[in-house]
Amino acid sequence: MMGDEAAAQVEQLGELARILEDAGYIEKKGGRYDLTPRGMRKIGQKALKDIFSQLKKDSFGKHKTSFIGAGGERTDVSKKYEFGDPFLLDLEKTVMNAVFREGPMTPVRIQPPDFEVYRTELITSSSTVLMLDMSRSMILRNCWAAAKKVAMALNQLIQSQYPKDNLYIIGFSDRARRMTAEGLNQVQWNEQVYGTNMQHGFMMARQLLGKHKSGNKQIIMITDGEPTAHLEESGEVFFAYPPTQRTVTETLKEATRCTREGIVINTFMLEKSRYLAKFIEQLTAINKGRAFYSSPESLGEYILVDYVSQKRKHVK
């Protein structure tokens, strides 16, 4: 028999479950509760809010700034009108230019050289594959929760602010596999599986991004270890630790194919091992992508701000 305090806690949990079910956030399937699509959106919104609220406390100096150009969304900065510019007239500046040119007289005669228009920022479309390391060390070092939170927040960001963008999620351990943001909470871990198969992850990401012929294409890889597995021509998985040169070579071959197809690989490393650092140096040299050392606590800040900043592309 449970004590009064334990019984009260069980009753409170039952009441909480009823409230969440009535609100449409969870539903009962069999003997367990599962999140509904509405519940997943709520969690994604919470993750997004948590990450961006942390950013308000930090400096943005380490992140790239937006570029100003022609075409796209209007900024608050104006410039002299040039042929071909969108005619987003800054009326106040235009009139003042005419007044400065002719003096304070009425009526004000505006001439073509007086026109000033607002500058614009080009918002580019993007197709992104988020590659999540699902090796056991990610769980043991408490990195998986941070990676999952980023995936859900990035999914929510794209759905709410950049609906024309495409996001795919790939989990990789011995093999790579497609995942959904909704399915991240149902991930089952197999203790008998070994390997960090980046090669298969890059291959699958390249195939997914190959469906999109325009816009930016990128891979965001979150990992805490070096590649220790690859696919043989037969489709079988080869695993070895420490990593063999063969695995490294096969992984870099796939990264080279990504590079040829214009796919940028951004790596967020949660560990500073000698093997990983050496591999990332080779990967970055081949792909001309970027690499960041991060902690689980700051992972979301880096990735979401970097994603938003990369949306703005220099045109003029």
In this prediction, residue 131 carries a pLDDT of: 93
- Contacts of residue 258, Cβ cutoff 8 Å, sequence gap at least 6: 202, 205, 206, 219, 265, 287
Amino acid symbol at 214: S
SS3 of residue 159 by DSSP: helix
**Beta pairing partners, 132:** 171, 222
Is pLDDT above 60 for 209? yes
Residue 120 near residue 146, CB atoms below 8 Å: no
**What digits encode the pLDDT tens for the residues 91-104?**
778 777 777 777 77
- Contacts of residue 85, Cβ cutoff 8 Å, sequence gap at least 6: 70, 79, 117
Q: Compute the average pLDDT of residues 83-88.
A: 70
In this prediction, residue 44 carries a pLDDT of: 56
Beta strands 126-133 and 166-172, pairing class? parallel
Is pLDDT above 50 for 242? yes
Rounded distance between C-alpha atoms, residue 187 and residue 82, angstroms = 55
CB atoms within 10 A of CB 207: 11
- The DSSP line for 173-220 is SSSEEEE-TGGGGG----TT-----HHHHHHHHHHHHTT--SSEEEEE
DSSP code, position 166: E
In this prediction, residue 76 carries a pLDDT of: 67
Torsion from C-alpha of 286, 243, 300, 131, nearest 10 degrees: 70
In this prediction, residue 112 carries a pLDDT of: 78
- The DSSP line for 265-287 is EEEEES---HHHHHHHHHHHHHH
What is the residue extent of each domain of the chain?
1-34, 73-122, 124-313
- CATH 3.40.50.410 is the classification of domain 124-313: yes
Q: Compute the average pLDDT of residues 134-163.
A: 80
Note the pTM of the prediction, 2 decimals. Answer: 0.66
**What digits encode the pLDDT tens for the residues 294-310?**
777 776 666 665 666 66
Residue 95's alpha-carbon distances to 76, 109, 197, 220, in angstroms, are 17, 9, 63, 48
